[in-house]
């Protein structure tokens, strides 16, 4: 049996943990649901502070399908618990937002989640950024056709 939509956990550095560039830290800009990013956007590993965006009608590698708060206590839950919570949250939001079942995700397509680091959690960050990552560039949104 093939496994569709394998998830990759990607830890979000959070604004306070971004590396210094020049005299100060890069200004961190949250992703917004509905945005599309090109293949050269750095979202795996440590996400760049302000990745490039492109219209979803042109070739892109990533689609942000949901951004919102995770449920949780004030205390950092630990990396494994936070990863499980973020994975569950993104999977639950996928079908209502995208319009297809998680099990129907095309081969080579993955769900990514960018979640708070311990440092950013302790600074009040509770948002997870849920992203679809395609194996190759495509135009049009997942669930709306126009695959290339």
Tell the residue number behind the tokens 């440092």, with chain if given. Answer: 119
Which pLDDT score, from 0 to 100, does residue 57 have? 96
Which pLDDT score, from 0 to 100, does residue 26 have? 61
Q: Please say whether the beta carbons of 116 and 126 come within 8 A.
A: yes
Domain ranges across the chain = 7-138
Which pLDDT score, from 0 to 100, does residue 56 have? 96
Q: What is the mean pLDDT of each run of 10 residues along the chain (148 residues)?
A: 37 37 60 96 84 96 96 89 95 94 90 92 93 95 64
Burial class (CB in 10 A: 0-12, 13-18, 19+), 56: buried
Which pLDDT score, from 0 to 100, does residue 10 have? 45
The pTM for the full model equals 0.79
Tell the residue number behind the tokens 């649901």, with chain if given. Answer: 33
Q: Please say whether the beta carbons of 71 and 148 come within 8 A.
A: no
């Amino acid at each position: 049996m093939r496994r569709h939509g394998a998830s990759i956990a990607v830890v979000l550095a959070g604004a306070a943990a971004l590396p210094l560039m020049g005299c100060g830290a890069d200004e961190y800009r949250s992703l917004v649901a509905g945005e599309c990013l090109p293949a050269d956007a750095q979202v795996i590993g440590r996400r760049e502070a302000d990745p490039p965006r492109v219209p979803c009608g042109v070739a892109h590698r990533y689609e942000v399908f949901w951004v919102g708060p995770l449920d949780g206590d004030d205390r950092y839950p630990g990396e494994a618990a936070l990863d499980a919570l973020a994975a569950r949250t993104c999977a639950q939001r996928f079908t209502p937002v995208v319009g297809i079942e998680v099990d129907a995700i095309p081969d080579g397509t993955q769900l990514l989640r960018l979640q708070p680091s311990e440092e950013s959690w302790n600074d009040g960050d509770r948002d997870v950024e849920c992203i679809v990552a395609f194996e190759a560039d495509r135009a049009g949104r997942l669930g709306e056709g126009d695959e290339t």
